[in-house]
Structure 1
């Protein structure tokens, strides 16, 4: 029996995907902020990739200065509201909280962060603005966490900035690639509108930069180009039957769910292939969309999964079952998915080995492949002199983000191979300063 009824209305969808980190009331925020010990060495700051002064903004919330708290957050991380909700705080700031040492509940840093930033977003309060114009122009390719963060910082430094986005809306992964129970579309877009109003960069939607001619126009018209293109489609498994109907990539499934919501149909029994955080999201989402049975299949053991433990716990809490030490051999069916043929595996000296004669079929009517994303190497090869590493990632200076083509700079998943929203935001801010150093000669 399904854990959740199949949603048929927007209200049903919202109920099934209720926020796992709901916004705090003023009273909740006052109480939670009063628990902070304001540690001198603040391990929570050290655990935050963007280095937010967490004790400072919590102290500001507790003293009634929510606006000051939001400014402290945004000065460090332009995706302050989104990161409060989508960051794996359980293993970052909250995971480092000293309360854990006494086996007490850590401070709910993420929810406090979202509380403060949401207040200024809703009020439209002006906290930032562009710096004095310096006469230089920078093009940003991609309006995801990296691209938007770079645009904000570059505007603060006085650059004219044009952002070119292939899709119809901004925010990249935060809008299209995050489970709806972590952040709603409305919250994501509200923060993007707020940042655009604060800093005044221009976003050109439905403007895919995809040819050498497109790149040449940017090279001729701008002093520097920032690459915030992220990753591509779900990797193919190259299995027999992979082309069958209802065998889909996890990235594509999550994007469809974010944009079409209750209009997306899932199978009665769904098999999710993979052991990372995206697999956990896809499995949890399938259950919340009314699937009667969801099986998470991974080729290694449970303890070898790449997913955070709390993500797996979340999936289990909605009825997802784990099937470990199995490798898919074939997607079977007659036109449509009818099952997956697996073979059992064992890990020997760190290597996955199949167990001969152990094949079996797990019946299902939908398969979701959470098998990683491809790199956008075809596009990147259009940039003269741009070097990629052996895994298809952009090679760039670790401090400045400058690539082997001096006019191009990069941050985010295209550079790091795939990390969290907070990593992209932090890296892009640093790279924007690298662009400034390059163009100003400092």
Structure 2
């Protein structure tokens, strides 16, 4: 057993990481699907969208060949509507609320229709928004992820000059660096960021990290308001013996390396164990398999009923040949010559629900041992507590405390997205950016 890169041919990598949810292959196919929509009054699909996209309206516009109008309807509510059409867990949001589910029929393919309209806008560079005259006000945003980009676009439309400070060399945040490559390609993410900033009035300063290249005090001094949208990203540690052995990596870094470089340069083991059952765990497991791992095992301490990922995501892992071990929690990692060779797990039972509402696992007193050469930790992410400590920002274990509109305890400083909620969907971050922008507009108007 060994960890190595360049396991597959170029053709195999291309096939394994090609678009997992291909778009409509023709205008006619999109029209057929759009015409299935019942255009419900007080539509449940719109209610279940965190950004409140008027879904019946944009679908109706597609049926009348008003694709540009459809894209505008989407973007006015969610400027990252193109990306969300690819990565949103629609089965538990808009499509999961479609009335066709009650009729035991296939729900409308809302995501594919949204993709149909928005990707044309990106490809054809439709200019769907005009900036209002400049107000002379300046706002700094930390993080060019979904929350920051959403906030920036709303502010810029209202004539505010926005500067985004981004620690990476590319924008997009989680979309660019934290999601499986077969869902969104780096090229698509770059095109989406360019489309958002093409409005004007938005400058992104790359390779600029809060606490390293500038401070919150610097931004407060030089700008009329500040929005913090730097997300989360610290992998939660397992805190078990052997975690320091070579071959034990965190899922965030593993996915980052896949997104940042060529597939053939990312090393993967023969037998890989992935700890966790959230979206990040699924992405890590499926991509490990698609990089050429012979066997991938997902290890989760609860049952399928309690898993954080959706059934659709789980099915992707199963179709890729990943195996799942339920009711098992990592207890120890054994190794030889400094390399991980075995994962010892405690077998678990479920008791009463914990604070999250899921039943708490407890040890049965038995163990199982997996022969592995690589272990990917995907047991959750932690906020950047060190980043917010000592800055007068009120926070709870690193999660910034805000009011409903994103206002922090410091006047003129707002926050939203994963750095506040601890990690939710891209669409939730987009909505947080909108709410923060609305509050900032009200704040700077009073200066």
| TM-score, normalised by the number of residues in structure 1 | 0.95
Instruction: Give 2:343's aligned residue.
Output: 340
State the distance in 2 between where 1:47 and 1:14 align: 35
- What is the 5 A alignment of 1:261-410? 261-334=263-336, 335-349=338-352, 350-356=359-365, 358-384=366-392, 386-389=393-396, 391-398=397-404, 400-410=405-415
Report if the CA contact (8 A) 1:128-1:199 is conserved. Answer: no
- Correspondence for 1:428 among 411, 414, 433: 433
- What is the 5 A alignment of 1:236-247? 236-247=237-248
Query: Residues 183 and 429 (structure 1 numbering): CA distance in 2 closer, same or farther, change over 3 Å?
Result: same
Aligned residue for 1:333, secondary structure, equals strand
State the distance in 1 between where 2:214 and 2:208 align: 13
Report if the CA contact (8 A) 2:386-2:398 is conserved. Answer: no
Aligned residue for 1:74, secondary structure, equals helix
- What is the 5 A alignment of 1:408-419? 408-419=413-424
Cα shift readout 1:376-403 (whole Å, capped 9, x = no counterpart): 111112422x1012x43111111x2110
The structural deviation recorded for 1:267 is 0.7
Report if the CA contact (8 A) 1:211-1:379 is conserved. Answer: no
Report if the CA contact (8 A) 2:348-2:361 is conserved. Answer: yes
Report if the CA contact (8 A) 1:211-1:382 is conserved. Answer: no
Instruction: Give 2:154's aligned residue.
Output: 153
Report if the CA contact (8 A) 2:151-2:433 is conserved. Answer: yes
**Backbone CA RMSD of aligned residues:** 1.5
Aligned residue for 1:225, secondary structure, equals strand
Report if the CA contact (8 A) 1:212-1:383 is conserved. Answer: no
Report if the CA contact (8 A) 1:7-1:16 is conserved. Answer: no
The structural deviation recorded for 1:16 is 0.3
- Which segments of structure 1 move beyond 4 Å, counting only runs of 4 or more? none
Instruction: Give 2:3's aligned residue.
Output: none
- Which moved further from structure 2: 186-195 or 12-21? 12-21
Instruction: Give 1:37's aligned residue.
Output: 38
Instruction: Give 1:17's aligned residue.
Output: 17
Cα shift readout 1:205-256 (whole Å, capped 9, x = no counterpart): 1111215953222111001110001002211111111111111111111111
Aligned residue for 1:272, secondary structure, equals strand
State the distance in 2 between where 1:256 and 1:213 align: 26
The structural deviation recorded for 1:283 is 1.1
Instruction: Give 1:202's aligned residue.
Output: 203
State the distance in 2 between where 1:105 and 1:52 align: 21
The structural deviation recorded for 1:98 is 0.9
Report if the CA contact (8 A) 2:331-2:345 is conserved. Answer: yes
* 2:439 equivalent to 1:438: no
State the distance in 2 between where 1:8 and 1:238 align: 37
Report if the CA contact (8 A) 2:329-2:347 is conserved. Answer: yes
Report if the CA contact (8 A) 1:8-1:263 is conserved. Answer: no
State the distance in 2 between where 1:8 and 1:263 align: 12
Query: Residues 141 and 32 (structure 1 numbering): CA distance in 2 closer, same or farther, change over 3 Å?
Result: same
The structural deviation recorded for 1:125 is 1.6
The structural deviation recorded for 1:408 is 0.9
The structural deviation recorded for 1:73 is 0.4
- Give 5+ residue unaligned stretches, structure 2: 1-5, 353-358
Report if the CA contact (8 A) 2:82-2:118 is conserved. Answer: yes
- What is the 5 A alignment of 1:63-102? 63-102=64-103
Higher strand share: 2
The structural deviation recorded for 1:40 is 1.1
The structural deviation recorded for 1:86 is 0.5
Cα shift readout 1:353-392 (whole Å, capped 9, x = no counterpart): 2122x123110111000011121111112422x1012x43
State the distance in 1 between where 2:213 and 2:204 align: 21
| TM-score, normalised by the number of residues in structure 2 | 0.94
